[in-house]
Amino acid sequence: MTETSRSELELVWQGQLSDLVTAVACSPDGRGWAASSAAGEAVWNAGLDDLIPLITPDTHSEAVPTIAGLAFSPDSRWLAAGGRSRQLCIWNCEDPHLPPQLVQCIEIGAWIERLAWHPHSSYLAVGTGVSARIWDIRNFTQIAIWEFDKASIFDLAWHPAGDLLAIAGYKGVQIRSIADATAPSQRIEIETASIRINWSDDGRYLAIGNLDRTLTIIDSEHPDRRWTLQGCPGKIRQLAWMAGTPNPCLAVASGNTIVLWHLNSDEIGWDGQLLEGHEGIIEVAIPHPYLPILASGSTDGYVCLWSASGDVEQILSERPIGKYTTLGWHPDGLDLLTGSQNGSLGVWIIPA
């Protein structure tokens, strides 16, 4: 691990779950955050308070009811969770004086692999095996179900405008319109499986991470413009568009490195830059909500904060017993949530 960081993050709170932390999620209004584990538990914390159970590990009958997805709606009204229990659990978060209140557990009938909230409405996309299901959480009704050519769905991503849903799987990406659920899908053909997708914040570029370690970027304003980029050293685990950069900048977590891809000023190509420092596999990389900073967590037991220029700005001041598995930014951009393999949770503050 490099020792060139300017300063260290300060641990201000620590807690413990009973198994590997699968997800952490902050409420967009900043009122609190939630976390889940591989044991099937979910908890709530209003800031730096004690953990409040939302689901306990013995709630479900299956032996390993791992929670794979945990997410707040953009308006902070709802919290959704799902995984191997084959249930989609929904909490109401409207009362600021109470923790989230469980209002519905919907039997899905299949493992839930991905959850993606519509950016402007109560629609929730649920990835289950070969199907993407769209639920309207206002009345808990399923309004669409889209199958991915009988092949597994690996990732889901709403266009920032909310009119389109991108679905990644074997042989590429399908893009479906929520305005007309019966309309044929747009297709982006890829020779291998597409395992990660992410729209840029303005919705112009769609990044697609593929199983053969290639990266595909589509310009939605000019559909004939398509870049296939190589140079990723391992499996692509995360795609993150960085905020506040003069030109679009995409961070790709692959193996023990991060590759930053910067769009040329003439917009004819992308320049790659390797960020090296981690010794273990990078499990998660997430962009700061409004600054050109990227946080990455690795199996080497370190979390790093990188600038868009590729420098390590900060590292954690102490390491957990387990490896880092998930990260989450508080919406104010001042606190970073961490979860690790041994179930430990942490809240870290960025020093001024």
Angle at Cα 140 formed by Cα 97 and Cα 187, nearest 5°? Answer: 115
- pLDDT at residue 296 above 80? yes
In the chain, the N- to C-terminal Cα span, in Å, equals 23
How does pLDDT run across 114-126, given as a tens digit for each residue? 999 999 999 999 9
For residue range 164-215, list pLDDT tens digits in order: 999 999 999 999 999 988 888 999 999 999 999 999 999 999 999 999 999 9
Residue 270 dihedral angles phi and psi, to the nearest 5°? -125, 135
Percent of the chain surpassing pLDDT 70: 93
The predicted-structure confidence for 143-163, as pLDDT tens digits, reads as follows 999 988 768 899 999 999 999
What burial class does residue 339 get, using C-beta atoms within 10 Å of its C-beta: 0-12 exposed, 13-18 middle, 19+ buried?
A: buried
**Biggest alpha carbon–alpha carbon distance for the chain:** 57
pLDDT at 58: 59
Summarize pLDDT for 24-62 with one digit per residue, the tens. Answer: 999 999 999 999 999 999 999 998 889 999 998 754 444
DSSP symbol at 231: -
Q: What is the mean pLDDT of the chain?
A: 90
Specify the DSSP element, H or E, that contains 186: strand 186-189
Residue 242 has pLDDT above 60, yes or no: yes
Measured CA angle at 201 (ends 136, 159), to 5 deg:
35
pLDDT band at 278 (very low <50, low <70, confident <90, very high): confident
- What is the model's pLDDT at position 95? 94
* Its pTM surpasses 0.75: yes
**Hey, is 72 helix, strand or coil?**
strand
Q: Is the pLDDT of residue 69 over 50?
A: yes
pLDDT at 61: 45
Kindly compute the dihedral angle of the four CA atoms of residues 64, 128, 339, 305, in this order, to the nearest 10 degrees.
160
Instruction: Yes or no: say if 228 and 215 are a contact pair by the CB < 8 Å rule.
Output: yes
CA distances 334 to 33, 73, 172, 244, Å, are 14, 21, 37, 16
